[in-house]
Structure 1
Amino acid sequence: MSVIQSIRDKAAWIIIGAIALALIAFIVQDALQGGGRGLFSGNSTTLGKVNGTSIDVRDFEQRYKMAEENYRAQNYPVNDQLRSQIRESLWNEFVEDALMTDEYAKLGITISDKEVGDLLYGANPPQMLRQQFTDSTGTYNANMAYQAIRSLKKGSAQYNSFWGEFVPALEKSRQREKFTSLVGKSMYVPKWLLEKTNAENSQRSSISYVNVPYSTIPDSTIKISDEDVREYVDKHKDAYKQENERGLIYVSFDASPNSADSLSVYNSVANQKDALAAANTTSDIQNLMANTSSETPYFDGYVLSSKMQMSNADTLRRLADGQIIGPYQDGPNYTMAKMVSRRQMPDSVKCRHILIKIGDQQGQARTDSAAKKLIDSIETALKGGANFDSMVVKYSDDAGSKDKKGEYEFTSMQFSNLSKEFAEVIFYGNVGDKKIVKVENQSYSGYHYIEVLSQKKFETAFKIAYVSHAIIPSDETINGASGMASQFAGESRDLKSFDDNAAKRKLNKLQADVKESDFMIMGLGESREIIRWAFNDAKRGTVADHAYQVGDKFVVPAVVSVSEKGTMSVEKARPLVEYKVRNEKKAEGIIKKIGTAPTSLEAVAQASGQQILRADSVTFNSTFIPNVGNEMKVLGASFNKEYQTKVSAPIKGEIGVFVIKVDNITAAPNPNFDAKAQQQAIQQQMGAMFGYRAMEIMKKSATIKDNRIKFF
């Protein structure tokens, strides 16, 4: 019947909640297979190691399977981007578990049974529980949640899912909260440091300066050797770290449907018009949908006019009963629509019910005849004046509504979530109707005694049947693109022939840099097989010996560069550091010209051909100087009191070489400075930030071996 009832019986909310938790939110691609190597490449099942602790691929696969089933069951759009994002979350969760299990034990961070109870039934329950067990007043009904959880049978799949997945995830999340709070509260900012910082930030400086721009020396006069680049990178290794990467080029051959394919699908849909016209019963329409493999399932219900959001809604509303339009293009499909019927229907209803279930109830087997006899006796008692609320409490098997007098409110958008027999009574009947209906679905079988209490916001609703076929490429189109791609791969066995053949065929060569953990190539989509080939089977200069199908394309890739984890090579670093090395060489030339110890700004200006300029109101806590820019070295020198009596030594800046003289340093006191209040605010801010960054710091300090590329 209702969503709440379904929740109680099937515990779908447990799964939804488990997914909703950030620490167990994940989904991985279909099956841990790839490249024809099977599930476990070789004999090893070690997906990775964290400080020597192994992550087993079988555990990873088990979590993946459950997540995929759950996401699909909830009709999530499981696309390539979502797979990639949540797959990474799953890996991070395993890494975090390996890092933190021992740390939590050392720190004594545990979760007691009382805390678990507070998490489930306290003032701040998980969002999923709050949504499912909030009563009509908007208050979380902890007792309702407690009764639903207690009703789970020990050893059942629902019980194991709740106590084996959902609750441990809650505990893990709470442990992390405790850890981050503990780390965050360790932050301390001394009062003297705040006072010193406040005094420094109140300073203002005025300077005179000469800037000799690097642009005064032509780039063509400065030659940068590989040795120059290597020396620079060696001095700044931390800034030029790299992960395992492969540089790819690829060409693609389009296998998307052409005009002939589109026309073929159009005709296929159009040929069903007579059959659709003749289908006048629900069974007839459902059989037609099945026989024609229609993309759009038949919804044997009505949709309110205001809820019809499709682009051609106005046209559909104007159809007479039995009238058909189409085929017309509806997104990726060709569709025909038939107006089956229309009726007046409320947008919201309120009802109350008593459920008597068939089957094992409270340790006793209840037959169909026994359930029917009981519901009939309840109806008789109610007609005789029995109190409905008392009957709900005493007899109803819907634990989710016992505390609400058996009452529910539904909107028309929930129609399809309800048992059909139940929904038709409350939406198609009249206020005051009292009926018994039998319901049989995946959740339960049983009898409902239903009373319709109110119906609101009536409007016209429409029942429409659709025959819809996807516009897909024909075998001829697919084979043609596949054949051309295979021929290209066969003729292009090295990078030179790859380039020559691409130019001869006027194919667009695209580039991509990929890491081991990537599952997508920008512009292509899910491309894991190509990435696995690039890391497992290919070297620099290798061209794939066959084409890979990616969506509606056949792709032939080649590896043009290989970057191993560590410091960047000269070749890769050159584009990033060449201008910096060039500026350093220019700075040396400029300093040689103006001298290493200039006596005055006038002498520097004369030697360099530049003007003496001024900058007023340079603030200590700023990140730039007016009319100069982000020159942090110059900004720092602007508050050096020594330069009030002499000019500075040449300063190698970002845009040129500077020589400055400090004209004046003043202070603008801050009358609103409150050391204690600022101390508290900064400690709170820094504590929260560092508490959450601590995990990332631990990951960087750990020895993590990632073998995912070997498995999937």
Structure 2
Amino acid sequence: MAVIGKIRKHSVILLVIVAVALLAFILGDFVRPQNKHLSEFIIIGKDKINYYDYLDQYNYYSDLLKKNGSENVEAEANDYTFNEMVDSIIVNNQASPLGIMVTAEELRDLMAGEKPHPYAQRFFGGPEGNYNMQLAQGFLDNMDQYDSASVANYLYIEKLVEKETYRNKYLNLLAKSFYTPKVFARKAQEENGMKALVQTAQISYSHELVSDDKIKVSEEDLKKWHEENLYRFPQDNELRNIEYVIFEIKPSERDLQEIETEVREKYAQFVASETPQLFVNTLIDSRFDSSFFKQNELPAHIDTLLFNAPIGTFVEPFIDGDYWMFAKLLATETRPDSLHVNFMFIANEGMQNAPRKKEEAKLLVDSAFLALMNGQSFYDVANRFSDVKPDPQNDSLRVWLEDGSDQIFFDRSTAQEFFDTLSNFMPGIMTRYESKLGTWIFILNHKTAIEKKIQVAMGKKLIEASTETFDNIESAANNFANGIDTYEKFDKKVTESNLNKRSFERLTAMAYNIPGITGSAREIVRWAYDEKTEKGNVSNVFNLNNMFVVASLKDIYPKGHMALDQVRSFVESMVKRDKKAEILTKNINASLAKTKDIHKLATQYKSTVDTVNVSFSDRNFGHYGPEAGLIGKIFAQKANQSLKLFKGDMGMYLVNVMKIDIPSSLQVDKNQGNSAEMFNQQQSMMYQSKIQNSAMPALRKLYKIEDNRYKVF
């Protein structure tokens, strides 16, 4: 009491202090500089997406992905949100000046017409997916009578339909803009019909005259070739090259022995227990699940031993993944897997913002029950009495209740208890279920076929490192990181400590996965892309999922073109190829000065003479592999001229062009005209397909997109 008295005595001073602090907090957002990264979270040319708008969309996609059981919610939600918002801005900028639009009448027809958009069809399809046009149009005409959540869901779907329709109109316009004039089509046909018959002998780049040990490549050679061929190595985004060491948190041999001993002791107590389901709840890693399981739903070892076993059968301790497990068969039943019901919920005081008293709630329940008994539609009664309102996606509050699921209920035990009760009723029965939270009214419509299920008490023990082992591994990671602040020191200490160093050369700013690291690696990625992280820096110890990680930023590869180090092995192979070609060209030309006999030359260079039929449209030159450049050179020759030497990608080629057939484009008969028209149609279809798949990535390159997501996510 004395303390309270003192507080009261100084309450005015306290209120003043709180008021000043609160005012400072409120004004802080106005007086402090605006966070640029939040207002300019993503910049697309002159347009901007702020963080809060992005987050709203991201959260929506995250919820959808979680409901669908996605394993990579954060990464997928980010991709969906980024693509949808960025593409929407780009398409609007491209399509708006062209007069493309989606009218209100068109949108209504897409949402509630005879041929609705697939999104609308699913939205108004109810739980069984049967689209109801009358229901859809009724919803649009009376939207103000529906709850805000249903309206918000509808408006979001409508916006998606509008954006997709708008985008498709623009892409269709692009696709239909393609046309190949008949003269060009005929010319392309002519080129595709060009054929040649050649004699050839290949002198491979693996020839003994130019074996790798005889070819010397300098750093200047590599730099020169790389600079001359930069066009081959576009890099649309900045990349980072990191090297890292993983200290995996694994149980020691002593830990494993102690865990097994503990499990076997617990199993003995489990066997002796008269209430195994309660005993399971005393274990740290176990909770009793009262559900009944179908065959193949339980861990394979338990399922095999117990599904057809007598009640009371035990499964001795065994290892399943990261757990020790043991089990006992408690019961078997034949029961349905799902129940199809109509339901409504009338909340007690305090639930669903219900202001009513218990007596008022009971009166509502009785009134709803009586209305249903008198034949009124469930939909109308639910609209009047239920605190969970029907919506167009579920027009009569219908749902399939699954055995073992906590659908519509607020806890799993309540759901299972009611399912057990309702599964014994016949379809058509109406019943109520009361709890502290409120009252459910159900009509049982259908039951799936009954099948055998078993109830099992399962004990589990996680196989994990002890606290002592964890501390030892953490200490090892900290000792490694201590005193190293450059890549050179990092690399040296890895060697001295005989550790396994890993590398990831193409780390993007929004990467979620790094090889060898379980779970999300975003913390490492954010460090690598932080503005304060410089090339050669070494990180602190990252405490991730079951491991500690120390990383070093080895290199930064700016946007534009790939650096030589990124493509060094490829460049080196190309430089060697060119040097080999120079040596072989010099030697073979000297031989050609003495003889033009391809057979003698083939013998001299330990090759064979081959006859190849080749078309101008071919990618491969016979069995020698891809040689597009060589094929082009062949068709630039005339038949029956002297033997020529050509440089190819796979080797040097002695070529004797024996025959070339080139269809004439001067005379175009009806069949050729029809053929040209067919070719034009094929090209148009290919272009349309390309537009659908490649237009948006190509358009993104036209806009300067600044993506700051990596600073937050």
Contact residue 61 and residue 80 of structure 2 kept, 8 A = no
Q: Which residue of 2 aligns with 1:510?
A: 502
Structure 2: unaligned runs, 5 residues or longer = 1-32, 410-414
The residue aligned with 1:635 is 631
Please give the TM-score of this superposition, normalised by the length of structure 1: 0.77
Question: What does residue 621 of structure 1 align with?
Answer: 617
Contact 1:598–1:647 (CA under 8 A) maintained in structure 2: no
Question: In the alignment, is residue 167 of structure 1 matched against residue 158 of structure 2?
Answer: yes
- The verdict on how the C-alpha distance between 1:97 and 1:140 changes in structure 2, with shifts beyond 3 A counting, is closer
Q: Distance in 2 between matches of 1:446 and 1:478?
A: 49
Deviation at 1:505, TM superposition (A): 2.9
Which amino acid letter does the alignment assign opposite residue 580 of structure 1?
Answer: M
One of 86, 92, 98 as aligned partner of 1:101: 92
Partners of 2:59 and 2:573 in 1: CA distance: 50
**CA-CA distance at 1:579 after TM superposition:** 2.4
Aligned to 1:487: 479
- From the superposition, tell whether residues 369 and 475 of structure 1 become closer, same or farther in structure 2 (CA, over 3 Å): same
In structure 1, what is the equivalent of residue 370 of structure 2? 377
Residues 597, 650 of structure 1: 8 Å contact kept: no
Q: CA deviation at 1:654?
A: 0.9
Residue 587 (structure 1) aligned with residue 581 (structure 2) = yes
Once residues 85 and 440 of structure 2 are traced to their aligned partners in structure 1, the CA distance between those partners, rounded to angstroms, is 46
For 2:128 and 2:56, locate their aligned partners in 1 and report how far apart those are by CA, in whole Å. 40
Q: Secondary structure at the match of 1:534?
A: helix
Deviations 1:111-164 (A, max 9, x none): 333333333334565656645754799742234456678887789662564255
Matched residue, 1:679: 680
How much does 1:192 deviate?
2.6
Q: Report the Cα distance in structure 1 between the residues aligned to 2:459 and 2:47, rounded to whole angstroms.
A: 55
Give, in angstroms, the shift of residue 543 of structure 1. 3.0
Distance 1:458 1:594, change over 3 A: closer
What are the superposed Cα offsets for residues 195-215 of structure 1, whole Å, 9 maximum, x if unpaired?
333333233211123444333
Shift of 1:180: 1.3
Aligned with 1:112 (options 76, 81, 103): 103
Which whole-Å CA distance do the structure 2 matches of 1:689 and 1:551 have between them? 42
1:651 aligns with 2:646: yes
2:126, 2:395 within 8 Å by CA — same for their partners in 1? no
Query: Contact 2:196 / 2:613 at 8 angstroms: preserved in 1?
Result: yes
**For structure 1, which segment, 257-266 or 54-63, has the greater mean C-alpha deviation from structure 2 after superposition?**
257-266
Letter in 2 for 1:688: S
Do the aligned partners of residues 447 and 252 (structure 1) sit closer, same or farther apart at CA in structure 2, a change above 3 Å counting? Answer: closer
Structure 1 contact 350–407 (Cα < 8 Å) conserved: no
Query: Which moves more between the two structures, 655-664 or 63-72?
Result: 63-72
Matched AA of 1:436 = T
Q: C-alpha deviations, 1:628-673, integer Å up to 9, x for none?
A: 3222222123333x42242365422112333423211237999897
What does the per-residue CA deviation read over 1:516-566, in whole Å, with 9 as the maximum and x for residues that have no partner?
A: 33232122242222233333344343333x321232121222233332223
DSSP-derived class of the 1:428 partner: coil
Contact 1:431 1:453 in 2 (8 A): yes
- For the 8 Å contact 2:280–2:286, the answer to whether it is kept is no
1:313 aligns with one of 282, 303, 308: 303
* Code of the aligned partner of 2:234: K
TM-score by length of 2: 0.77
CA contact (8 A) 1:148 1:400 kept: no
Give ranges in structure 1 of 5+ residues lacking alignment.
1-39, 382-387
Partner of 1:701: 702
Q: Once the 2 structures are TM-superposed, how far is the Cα of residue 598 of structure 1 from its aligned partner?
A: 6.6
- Check whether the contact 1:396–1:402 (CA below 8 A) recurs between aligned residues: no
Match of 1:142 in 2: 133
- Calculate the aligned-residue CA RMSD, in Å: 4.4
Match of 2:490 among 485, 488, 498: 498
Flag the 1:101–1:329 CA change in 2: closer, same or farther, 3 A: same
Distance in 1 (CA, whole Å) between partners of 2:392 and 2:253 is 60
Q: Structure 1 residue 302 and structure 2 residue 297: aligned?
A: no
Matched, 1:428 2:428: no
2:322 is equivalent to residue 329 of structure 1: no
- Quickly say closer, same or farther: Cα 1:375–1:203, change in 2 above 3 A: same
Aligned residues: 650
What SS does the corresponding residue of 2:75 show, helix, strand or coil? helix
Q: CA deviation at 1:487?
A: 0.5
Shift of residue 400 of structure 1?
A: 6.4
Cα separation, partners in 2 of 1:295 and 1:571, compared to 1, 3 Å: same
Match of 1:235 in 2: 228
- Equivalent in the alignment of 2:4: none
User: How much has 1:370 moved relative to structure 2?
Assistant: 2.7
Amino acid at match of 1:701: L
In structure 2, give the amino acid aligned to 1:463: Q
Once the 2 structures are TM-superposed, how far is the Cα of residue 580 of structure 1 from its aligned partner?
1.7
1:52 is aligned with what amino acid?
K
- Could you tell me which residue of structure 1 aligns to residue 173 of structure 2? 182
1:524-603 aligned at under 5 Å gives the runs: 524-525=517-518, 526-536=520-530, 537-544=532-539, 546-595=540-589, 602=596
> CA separation in 2, counterparts of 1:372 and 1:173?
44
The answer as to 2:449 corresponding to 1:460 is no
**Which piece of structure 1 moves more, 615-624 or 567-576?**
567-576
Matching residue of 2:14 = none
Q: Which residue is equivalent to 1:368?
A: 361
| Conserved? CA contact 1:633–1:653, under 8 Å | yes
SS of the residue corresponding to residue 189 of structure 1 reads coil
For residues 356 and 679 of structure 2, what CA distance do their matches in structure 1 show?
68
**In structure 2, do the counterparts of structure 1 residues 378 and 616 end up closer, same or farther at CA, with 3 Å as the change threshold?**
same
How far apart are residue 480 of structure 1 and its match?
1.0
- Give distance in 2, aligned partners of 1:346 and 1:329: 31
Q: 1-side partners of 2:171 and 2:109: how far apart? A: 20
Q: Given residue 575 of structure 1, which amino acid in structure 2 is its aligned partner? A: S
Q: Are the aligned partners of 1:341 and 1:463 in contact in 2 as well (CA < 8 Å)?
A: yes
Structure 1 stretch displaced more, 667-676 or 580-589: 667-676
Q: What is the one-letter code of the residue matched to 2:703?
A: A
Letter matched to residue 624 of structure 1: N
* Cα distance, 1:478–1:461 mapped onto 2, change above 3 Å: same
Match among 459, 468, 471 for residue 463 of structure 2: 471
Instruction: For residue 429 of structure 1, give the secondary structure of its aligned residue in structure 2.
Output: coil
> For residue 4 of structure 1, what is the aligned residue in structure 2?
none
Counterpart Cα distance in 2 of 1:41 and 1:465 = 57
Counterparts in 2 of 1:534 and 1:305: CA distance versus 1, 3 Å: closer
Q: Is the 8 A contact 1:618 1:626 kept in 2?
A: yes
